Amino acid sequence: MDAKALLEPGKRARSKAANRRAILAAGRRVFARIGYEATTVRDIIRETDLASGTFYNYFKSKEEVFEAIAEDSTHRYRELLSHVRERAVTAEDYMRQAYRAYFAFIAQENEEALTDGAPHLALIGVRVDTPEMLAVAAEIRADLERILSADGSPRIDIEYLTAAAIGIAREMGEIMLMRRPVDVDGATDFASRMVMASVKELAAK
C-alpha cells in the first residue's frame, strides 16, 4: 500500500470533522439571526459552502443541529467546570468560579451574535434535557455535597440548591447577554453572593 492510500482515511476524517464544524457554525449564525423557530434546514445549508446532500450525511433536521450545538457547548463548559473543581477550596470559591466560568463562556459563545447585533442570541447551555447537561448537573450536585460537607453545612438540601444554582445561572445568563455592555463580572458577583447568602442562612438554621 502506498503512502497516499495510507493518508486517505485521515484526510477523510478531517474533512468530515470540518464539514460538521461548518454546519454547526452556520446553525449558530442562523439561529442567532432569525431565531430557532423561523430557521429551516435550507437556511443553514445556504450559510455553508456545502451541498444539501452533504448536510444530510450529518444531520436529518434543524433540531438535530441545535441539539448537537447544545451538546458540544455543554461538553466544553463541562471541561471548564472540571478546572473549577480542581481549584476551589471553599463553597464560596466554587460558586464564584463556577458562575464566572459559565457567564464568561456563554458571552464568548455568543460573541459573534452580539457583535453582529443578531436579535436571537444562540443561548447554549440553557437546555436541561440533554445527556451532557444532565451529567453537568450531576457533577455540580456532587461538588456541592462534597464541598458543603467539608465547610460544615451538611443540613442544606443539596438537590434544591443544585436546581436553584443552575436556574440562576440560566436566567441571569440570558439577561446578562441582553445588556450592553455584557457584564460578566457583575453577573458573577451578584449570583455568587446571592447563593452564598442563602447557603449561610440555611446552614445557620
pLDDT in tens, 11-43: 666 788 899 999 999 998 898 888 888 999 999
**Region 119-143: what's the mean pLDDT?**
75
Q: Give the whole-angstrom CA distance, residue 197 versus residue 93.
A: 13
Pick the closest to residue 56 from 69, 66, 42, 37 (CA basis). 42
Pick the closest to residue 183 from 99, 122, 126, 125 (CA basis). 99
Question: What is the grid cell recorded at 156?
Answer: 442544606
Q: What percent of the chain has pLDDT over 90?
A: 53
Check residue 123 and give its pLDDT: 53
pLDDT in tens, 135-169: 899 999 999 999 988 866 657 899 999 999 999 99
Q: Give the whole-angstrom CA distance, residue 21 versus residue 23.
A: 5
Amino acid at 30: V
Check residue 126 and give its pLDDT: 47
Check residue 130 and give its pLDDT: 74
Q: Are 38 and 61 a contacting pair, CB within 8 Å?
A: no
Q: Give the whole-angstrom CA distance, residue 159 versus residue 144.
A: 9
pLDDT in tens, 172-183: 998 998 888 999
pLDDT at 125 over 50: no
Check residue 34 and give its pLDDT: 87
Q: Give the whole-angstrom CA distance, residue 156 versus residue 125.
A: 26
Percentage helix, strand, coil, to 5, in the chain? 75, 0, 25
pLDDT at 129 over 70: no
Q: What 8-state DSSP symbol labels residue 81?
A: H
pLDDT at 55 over 80: yes
- Sequence-distant (6+) residues with CB within 8 A of 93 are 87
Q: What is the pTM of this model?
A: 0.82
Question: What is the grid cell recorded at 178?
Answer: 441582553
Check residue 65 and give its pLDDT: 93
**Region 88-110: what's the mean pLDDT?**
93
Q: Are 30 and 44 a contacting pair, CB within 8 Å?
A: yes
